[in-house]
Amino acid sequence: MGKGLSRRELLKKAGFGGAVFLGGSVLGHGVQHRADAAVVDYTNPGTVGHSLLHEEGAPSLYGQVHDPPAGLGPGDLDLHTFPPPPDDLSAGSEREVEINVEERLIEVGSGAHVEAWTYNGTVPGPIIRAKEGDVLRVHLVNHTGNPHNVHFHGSHRPEHDGWEPVPPFGETTYEIDAGPAGLHPYHCHTIPLSEHISRGLYGMMIVDPPGGRPPATEVALLLSGFSTEQTGRNGIVAWNGVAGFYHRYPIKVAANGRIRVYLVNMLEHEPIASFHLHAETFDVYPAGMGEKPASREDTVALAMGQRAIVEFTLPTVGRYMFHPHQHWLAERGAMGWFAAV
């Protein structure tokens, strides 16, 4: 078992090829917010995105059971935004991706630690981004005493599907054509699958269409859960691997600007989850596919492994809440805010 590392140390160790990472851990204790501090001056953009809602030693206004580790600050999970692929990568480019399976003790909420199995040291693993038709050579190295692998959703040749276990301390290389254009999760596919996924072996791959997508502020949100007592139930639920982070530190976006959310449900042990946005509606592209939205919603349901791209604008300055509409999930750490400033 590897020792617990700070989030910055994890990111430094795990970084590769311009990929962006979510999740991670630091040690500490959390804080809660005070109801009488919840007044926000919505006419003042400078206060909308600030975390005055949260002060130590008071009950939670929205039933927030789990807060983020106290050692995290507003910039430490500033990985929900990320750059597009390099402009010089045309369709059909060849890209090398390195993924290391490592065991880490991580803190997923205030005082809540899990013995995680990770891709490149973080939960979730790295965002992999490519253009449709790119050739990805994914080199997987298993640094643990358990068999693991990596299976990509989407379309590719079956001999590189990633279901065969890679033995302890072994390695292999997958070669897949990125596609179709859309949003595809990846995860370990070694038996027992429920344990390998619930302990952290998952991530997302974004495949851009030819010519890319229209300009927008881009946000990645992956929903997952953790059983801190190995009960087979999710005692903690988190966006991007850290419970309560976006509840304490809202995601800042420009009012009236286009927002694109890459939304993935990798929540094991739950039959269904969802994404609900307060005070606004969004266009839904199931699996991120299609040139036109399939529907206009304020709540989209996602079974485990399902995903969507949702796009919207927030027309006025203010805080817009988001969470699963299964409230027992929201209350376990999956409450968050967009702050339009």
Query: What confidence tier does 280 reach under pLDDT thresholds 50, 70, 90?
Result: very high
Nearest to 220 by CA among 153, 129, 286: 129
Q: Is the distance from CB of 220 to CB of 260 less than 8 angstroms?
A: no
What are the pLDDT digits (tens) for 18-45? 233 233 222 222 222 223 334 456 556 6
C-alpha–C-alpha distance, residues 307 and 301, integer Å: 9
The pLDDT value recorded for residue 157 is 84
Looking at residues 158-183, what average pLDDT do you find?
91
Residue 216's contacts (CB-CB under 8 Å, 6 or more residues apart) are 257, 258, 259, 260, 311
What is the percent of the chain where pLDDT is above 70? 75
Bridge partners of 205, per DSSP, are 128, 184
The pLDDT value recorded for residue 29 is 23
Residue 116 CA to chain centroid, in angstroms?
A: 16
CATH H superfamily, domain 88-208: Cupredoxins -  blue copper proteins (2.60.40.420)
- Domain locations along the chain: 88-208
Looking at residues 124-151, what average pLDDT do you find?
95
Q: Order of strands, edge to edge, in the sheet holding 135-142?
A: 112-119, 94-109, 135-142, 171-177
Higher pLDDT, residue 97 or 73: 97
Whether 313 has a pLDDT exceeding 70, the answer reads yes
Higher pLDDT, residue 54 or 333: 333
Average pLDDT, the chain: 81
pTM across the whole model: 0.84
The pLDDT value recorded for residue 138 is 96
Helices (H), 25-88: 45-48
